[in-house]
Every structure is written in C-alpha cells, then in structure tokens.
A and B are shown apart, each in its own frame.
Chain A
Amino acid sequence: MSDKKPISSVNDFVVRFANVNGSGSASANEMFARAILRHGVPVSPRNIFPSNIQGLPTWYEVRVTEDGHLGARGGVDMMVAMNPQTWDKDVAGIEPGGYLFYDSTKPMPSTRFRNDITVIGVPLTAITNSTYTDPRQRQLFKNIIYLGALSALLDMDPKLIEQLIGEQYKGKEKLLSSNVHALHLGRDWALQNLKCPLGLRIKKSDKVGDRIFIEGNSAAALGAVYGGATVCAWYPITPSSSVAEAFTAHCKKYRHDPETGKAKYAIVQGEDELASIGIVIGASWNGARAFTATSGPGISLMTEFIGLSYFAEIPAVIMNIQRAGPSTGMPTRTQQCDIIACAYASHGDTKHVLLFPEDPAEAFEFAAAAFDLAERLQTTIFLMLDLDIGMNHRLCRPLKWDDAKQYDRGKVMTAEMLEEGRDFGRYLDVDGDGIPYRTYPGTHPTKGSYFTRGTSRDRYARYSEEGSVYADNMQRLVRKFETAQDLVPRPLQANAERPTKYGVIYFGSTSPAMDEAIGLLEARGHQLDRLRIRAFPFHSSVASFLAEHDFVYVVEQNRDSQLRQLIVNENGIDPVRLVPIVHYDGTPITARYIAKAIGDHQDHLKVTPLRKAVS
C-alpha cells in the first residue's frame, strides 16, 4: 500500500494520540509513556489540549528518545487517530513513511488515507463491544485495548505494562485484573492479525537511570512545602491551578501534626487574584512564608499589590505558570510571554526578581529558594514557569534536599535585639546592602512598631513627601536590587569545543530544545557558546558573555523578544548584537526550529570569498 519506505527506527520516534477530551484516554496514554520509561528508554510527553472539559479534540504526544532529547521534536511518526473530528488534519500531519493506527470497526473509504504511510486498522470498537456491555467500561477499556495493540506493534514487553497496572490498581484486584485482561485483548488481536513488530520499535536500554518523571507544577508545589510555605492563596486559572492543588495534596500528606491531626498550613481559594495576592502580602507582612500561583491575566490583576510589595518591602512569592497572551490569549498553550510584565510590574519605578527554572527539578529547587530570597530581600520573587514545564511530565534528575539547611528568614529584629537598644529604622540601610530590618507585628510592647504604607516615608517609616527623602529611599531600593544579583541563581555557561565569536542566550523551558539544537548546529558547522539565564537581575557574567561575543542569539518563546529587551535595557547593550530568535505559536519550541533559525542567520554571516563565488 505504501509507496514510501516505512520509517524504521529503534527508540527514536514520535507517537501522537488524537483523542476526544473527557474520554478517559489520558491515563492510558500516560501509561504508554511510563511503560517505555520502564524499558529504560527516555520519553518526553506533552499534552496538547483545548480550554474545555468534554468533547473537544485533545492530543498526547510521546517523543521516544534514546538520546534523551526532552524538547518537542516536531513531526509525527505514528498517529493513533482516535478522534474522527480531527482525522483529516491528523492523517495529513504524519511524516512520509509514517504509520497510522485507527479503529477499523467501520470501513473507511480509501480516499481518507494516504499512500505514503502504513495504515494499521484494529477493530477496537468491535473488540470492546463484544467483551463489555457497560458504556463507560466500553469507553475506558477501549483505551487499554489500543495500548495492548500498540505494545505488540512496537515490540514492548507486556510484563512491564502489567507491572504498571499492578502499581496503579494496588489493592483493587478487580480493576487490576480487568485492565490486564483488556491489555491482552488488544495485544493478542494485533499479534494474530497484524505483522508485528513494525519498523518503529522499543528496545530495552539503560538511559533513564535514576531520573524521575514529574510535572513542573507538582514539583514547584513540593518545593513550597520544603521551602516552608505555610500560607497559600490562589484563584483557579489554567495552567497554574494544579500548583495549588498539588500543594494541597502534598500538605495533606506531610504537614499535619501527627498527634493533633491539625494543619501546619492554611490554603485559601481567594475570590480573585487581587484577594490571593492580598492574603499573601498580609501573611508575609506578619512573618509567614506565603505564596500564590497564577498565570498572565492574574499577574495583570495583581500588579497594584506587587508595587506595594516592592515599595513597602513585603516578601511575596508568585508562581507564574505562563500561557500564551495577551488578554485571554490561548489559555492552554505555552509561551514565555510575561517577562517584561513581571520584571517591571506595577506603576512607578519598579523592578522585580525573576527565577527561570528549566525543568521540574529546578522548579522544586527554585520554589524552595524563592522563600529564602523573598524574606532576605523583602520583596516579590517570581517563579517563572510555563505550561510546557508545568503541565507535562518531564524526566529530570531526582529532587534533593539537605537536611542541615535552615530557612533564611532575612533581617528580622527580635524583642531581644530591641531590648539591647538596637536602633530600629524600618527603612534604614544599616549594612550597606540596601536591605533594612523589619519587625513582626506583636514583637515588643513599646519598641519596634511601625506603620506600613504604600506612601513615601523616611528611614524611620514616618510619612514624608520631601523630595530628598523619597529619592533616598528609591536609591536604596536600587542598591537592594544590586544585592539581589549575587543572591539569585547564576547563569550557566557551556562553551563550544572551538573558540567562537557567536553565543546564544536562552532560559526556562527552551532548555532541552536548545541543548539538542546545539548538536544539530554543530553538524552544520556552527559553533556557539551557550549561556542559560536562570534569574533576573542579571548577574555580571551576562554582561561579560555579551562582551566576549560579536553576535548573541537570544532564543525565547514570545513575539517581542522580551528577554532580549530586558538585557538591552539593563545592560545598555547595542541591540544589533543581540539577534532575536522567537517562537510564539503556542507550541513548545523545537530543536529543529532553533537550529534552522540560527543556522540560516549564520549562513548569511559567512562571507564567501569573491574568487570562489565566481569560479
């Protein structure tokens, strides 16, 4: 049937499942990804879903990657087409020589297929209906049946899948055995009726190691638990809701007093983002570690409070799980589009600390660190995740915690210090680092109280509209921001094998695609030094990196090259030397995209000697 040679690849291909949301396919698809991991083969799955609960198309893409490339690859080698609504587009998206897996219960006209792909029909509905009578069971087990058929087609070890089912339904024997039965229904049908395996195969390997498989939002929430957050206030918004939900789940497990059963945390679902950040500011003012999780529209609503946090110097942690804006934008699509909105949030002169984790492991570390930074710097710290990291399972190094670590509660003047006669000025820079001391409410009967306000005041927190007093305070805030440079995670640099005049700057979820793109670019003969920025304010090494290279590409997932703008603005750099590489259609950036964009630019830069050109 196929007039193109079928793709043949072991442990390196992309399978995409096209489903209808609400059909229960998600758990079967996730089991497929986990089963491959159990073969010792890395995978990188991604949910592509609509802003809807039931009935609309949804996709789940699994990149199987022996080499451990965890970014999106682009292209589909095998389509599991379970959604008639998207059939035509799904079929059209298969790479030439790829495979189409579909439910062949009802015959399809040949015009609906392509002749350069391999078509695999399995009568899923017929198998399901002859086995099950309950409609819900039919729907759920159909998913497991296709998983079984795929296991045969891709040469997977069924025992590893059975093991996963066993773990998932531990203690629920009936569900366990019926799932295993469904798995073998599909598997046996495929083995008896189809040529197994296909050109695409899973072969056992040892490339997963001790890595874990976790969503960024869950990891960030766990970081908040380890970082000592006791107050969480939030308002539901995609793609951030699962941060608060995961925090709730983690706290239920790890934060109840074993004797009294009482909670060592307080979680409030606010009436909106204004209330959520207000609760965070109130709790932090009163000495608790507090955070909120939100996305772009929530950030817009919170900006007045963010300015208060900056000016009145109140700690706050905001986790921003970015999605495509502006306005409601594409709520279920990924972007890195709030860099400017967060770096300079609120009216007046403001600057805020941003942290850019690249994966769940860093999301965990940076989330915990954000609370130390917020209390040390007495200001808002943004943890800048995005949908790609936040809502997808990602393979990453195991989470680590040092039990000797104490929380850095920052400069807090205690009753004892006040009794000793220490001079307390709430906005007095005693150490030259721009960071003043604060007191918690209720500390001392007669000393250390002050009035917190968003209006201008002097070093002793007394209201003042004197120009010099105001300017003095604003200058100190600049000093404090300079102090922050050395406290936030530093950029990580990786140099090319040979010295080069070209560099690339990237951050956050672009990381895996960038790492892979470097290999592709090297194959094209392009050498690039890399700098992964992990925080704002920028460390001095960013300026050095810029100085050391003629051209620096700034790769990011937004239209306006926002990080580049920030670098130009903060470092006074000639913008011409910073080349924007942007990707902003809402899908995760791919190595192919980066390599092409940078490669094409590099090719243009290559001067071809005239004699050679004319000869």
Chain B
Amino acid sequence: MTYIAKPKFHHPGLKKNELGYTHRDYEGKISTLCAGCGHDSITASIIEACYELSIEPHRVAKISGIGCSSKTPDYFLGNSHGFNSVHGRMPSVLTGANLANRDLIYLGVSGDGDSASIGFGQFAHSIRRGVNMTYIVENNGVYGLTKGQFSATADRGSKSKKGVTNTDNAIDLVAIALQLGATFVARSFSGDKSQLVPLIAAAIGHKGASFIDVISPCIAFNNHAGSTKSFDYVREHNDAVNRLDVLVGRDPIAVDYAPGTVQVVEQHDGSKIALRKIDADYDPHDRLGAQTFLAKHAAKGQIVTGLLYVDPDAEDLHSHLNTVETPLNTLEADTLCPGSAVLDKINASLR
C-alpha cells in the first residue's frame, strides 16, 4: 500500500554497516504485491546485499520496465532515484542513464514478460553491449498483472492455473545471456536468500553486464501442480552448482573451508568472491562448458542455479566507447562547445 506511510522508527540496537546505515535505510515503500509473492523476497535480498556492501543508497539508480516485477523498485532503496519506464524498455533507458553518469550503480529490474517477450531485443542488445549494470529478471513464467497468461519462459508442457498446457518452447534467459557475452551470469531462486543475497552483491561488484535470472513463483497464478515455476517444483528440481560469499574490504577470507573446495575471484571493485563448489566439475570461468552443462541439465528437467559464469576482467560499454572518466552529465559549455573561432574555420572550409 504505497499510500500508507511506512514508519521510520526502528530498534535502537539495530546493526549498522560501515556507513552507519541500518538495513531500514535501504528499504522503500510498503509492497503492494500479493502476500507471499516471490518478488518480495528478491526485494529483501536486494536490500540485504546493498546493506552488506555499504552502498550509499542514493548512488544507485534503479530502473525497471512494466509489470509486477517492475513495480518492486519502489519497495527498496527509498533514497535512490527510480524509473518505472516503458514495457520491455528498461535496458535502453538504463543504457542511456549509464552513459550519462558512469559513477552510479545501475540496477535493472525486469520480469519474464518484460525481458523474454516484449523486451527480448532490448535484453539481448544491452547484454551484448556490455553495459555496466546488474540486470535482475524476476522470473515467474506468467503474466501476473493481467491475471495468468503464459510468458515466454513458461516451460513447454507446463500447465496454467486454468489447466491449459503450454505448447510453445521456453526461452532460457541465462542460456541466451551466456551466448550474448554477459560477463557475469547467475541463476537463483527467490526462496533461497542465502544463495541470492551474495549473488546480487557479487553482481553489483562486477564491472560489466551482470545478469541474474531469479525464479520467483507467482503465488496467485503460477504456484499449482503442473507448473514448473512453483515453490515445490523449483525446490525439488534446484541443482545448485556452487554457493558463494562476497568479501568486502577488510574482511579476511574465511578459513573454515576444506582445502580445494573454495575458489577466490577478485572483482574489479576490490571485493572478493569466495566460491564454494558443490559440483566439483563445474568451472564458472568456462563459458562454453557452462552452456553445455545448462543444456544437459535442462534436458533432465533440472534448474541449474548458482554463479554460472564470471569474467572478472570484463570491459564495459564505457571502455568500448573510450569515454572520459568525468560523468558526461557534469560537462558544460566550456568543455563541450568548440567555440566561435573553430566555427569561423568551419565556415571558411565550406566556401
């Protein structure tokens, strides 16, 4: 209920992060989604990840498209600028915002209708351009706001609440993101915060296009028997390849891991990801291997989750465009305008 003001007071003993903020400082308005919606768990995970990373909330720009998922940026980081844009067009708006000011953190929130159907093209092109962003799809396989139509990520053979069987093939956004060159690719489940929070934190620390597909059951329209995006189905078929911890700044690397089971990935922002392997053979630096692994497991009906691919030395769109370090939105006439003397020369060359 966005019109109900959320009380600001909190327990005086609430834990504070490095900046002196409590997790309450990362909250937004009260959610208007259905009680038990998977999306609210993702909202909570974003709040948790930003708190843990001690991010200045106002240095985040949160941008979304249209749909249930795209409403969520109103429910976290209340001191950040948010932009609930046009259906399927979050990626282009985010790309433009990123070009204007490279110093902010860009969080793109979208859904499966928003990214796999109407915005499939924009999803693809923002990934292949390497826009420095964290792109989260809150994937429930269904159109919630319009009451239960299949989306393009609904599996073939899965049933709608009304009992209709989906005959179209599903789009796996993770597989597409890998193919298009995303430099950080993960999948998670809204019901598994311990996996999701560090994935979001690691994605924010990554410089380049980070993509996280979060299976997020729709409590109202896609949580029944026959659905492959229900809480029960995802729990039963979840195949996590790794778990991770994100280590920021001074934190020492935890030492209680068994030798050979942890891989440390140093990120561009100085943070470290400690990857605990669950599947011993899974290598998150092997793009082709990840694609094959995903395809094989999908054929068996398994949902592969975890950090699936990361390239810690990735480049982003700004490096491709060779733009100045100063945000473009701060440049004024003194540096942008060539002036009248140059114009006189241009005029002379046109006679």
Contact = CB atoms under 8 A, between A and B. Distances in A.
Given A282-B100, A290-B100, A451-B74, A463 B2 contact: yes
A264 B328 contact: yes
Instruction: Name, among A286, A288, A464, the residue most crowded by chain B CB atoms within 10 Å (CB to CB).
Output: A286
A285 interface: yes
Interface stretch (A65-73, A225-233, A492-500): A225-233
Nearest to A231: B99
Contacts of B99: 230-231, 266, 268, 279, 282-283, 288
A255 B336 contact: yes
A271 B333 contact: no
Nearest to B336: A228
A490 B189 CA distance: 59
A257 B324 contact: yes
Contacts of A230: 99-100, 328-329, 331, 336
Nearest to B129: A268
Given A264-B335, A282-B94, A454-B84, A222 B346 contact: yes
B122 A275 contact: yes
Nearest to B70: A453
- Of B98, B124, B323, the most chain A CB neighbours within 10 A belong to B323
Interface string A4-21: 000000000000000000
Interface in A265-300: 265-268, 270-272, 274-288, 290
Given A263-B323, A275-B125, A442-B58, A282 B332 contact: no
Interface stretch (B41-49, B75-83, B200-208, B277-285): B75-83
B329 A286 contact: yes
B93 interface: yes
A473 B104 CA distance: 30
A468 interface: no
B86 interface: yes
Interface string B321-351: 1111100111111011111101110110011
A68 B175 CA distance: 63
A254 B63 CA distance: 33
Contacts of A272: 121
Nearest to A228: B336
A255 B326 CA distance: 14
Contact of A403 (B86, B91, B92, B340): B340
A211 B323 CA distance: 36
A271 to B, nearest CB: 4
Contacts of B9: none
B56 interface: yes
A143 B56 CA distance: 65
B192 interface: no
The secondary-structure label for the interface of chain A is loop
Interface residues of B, number: 64
Given A278-B89, A288-B99, A400-B340, A440 B329 contact: yes
B103 interface: yes
Contact of A274 (B89, B101, B103, B343): B89
Contacts of A254: 338, 342
Interface in B68-117: 73-74, 78-86, 89, 91-101, 103-104
Contact of B333 (A276, A304, A398, A407): A407
A231 B3 CA distance: 37
Contacts of B73: 451
Contacts of A455: 84
Contacts, number: 232
Contact of B93 (A231, A264, A265, A282): A282
Nearest to B342: A254
Contact of A233 (B96, B331, B340, B343): B96
A407 B59 CA distance: 26
Contact of A442 (B103, B333, B337, B350): B103
A81 to B, nearest CB: 31
A262 B95 contact: no
Contacts of B38: none
A402 interface: yes
Contacts of A263: 321-324
Interface string A442-473: 11111001111111000000111000000000
A304 B93 CA distance: 13
Contacts of B328: 230-231, 264-266, 283, 288
A442 B329 CA distance: 12
A263 B100 CA distance: 13
Contact of A446 (B79, B93, B344): B79
Contacts of A226: 337-338, 343
A606 interface: no
A347 interface: no
Contact of A286 (B100, B124, B323, B347): B100
Contacts of A84: none
B58 A266 contact: no
A402 B351 CA distance: 21
Contacts of A449: 58, 78-82
Given A254-B338, A262-B323, A272-B121, A441 B96 contact: no
A139 B249 CA distance: 68
B58 A270 contact: no
A290 B96 CA distance: 9
A416 to B, nearest CB: 15
Contacts of B144: none
Contact of B97 (A37, A222, A270, A441): A441
A439 B340 contact: no
Contacts of B83: 282, 285, 451-453
A305 interface: yes
Interface of B: 2-3, 56-59, 61, 63, 73-74, 78-86, 89, 91-101, 103-104, 121-122, 124-125, 129, 317-318, 321-325, 328-333, 335-340, 342-344, 346-347, 350-351
What 8 pairs across the A-B complex have the smallest Cβ distances?
A: A282-B96, A278-B92, A288-B100, A441-B81, A287-B329, A283-B96, A279-B96, A286-B100
5 contacts: A230-B100, A262-B323, A263-B323, A266-B321, A278-B96
Given A282-B85, A463-B3, 14 more contacts: A213-B350, A230-B329, A231-B100, A261-B322, A266-B323, A272-B121, A275-B122, A282-B92, A282-B97, A288-B328, A406-B333, A407-B333, A455-B84, A463-B74
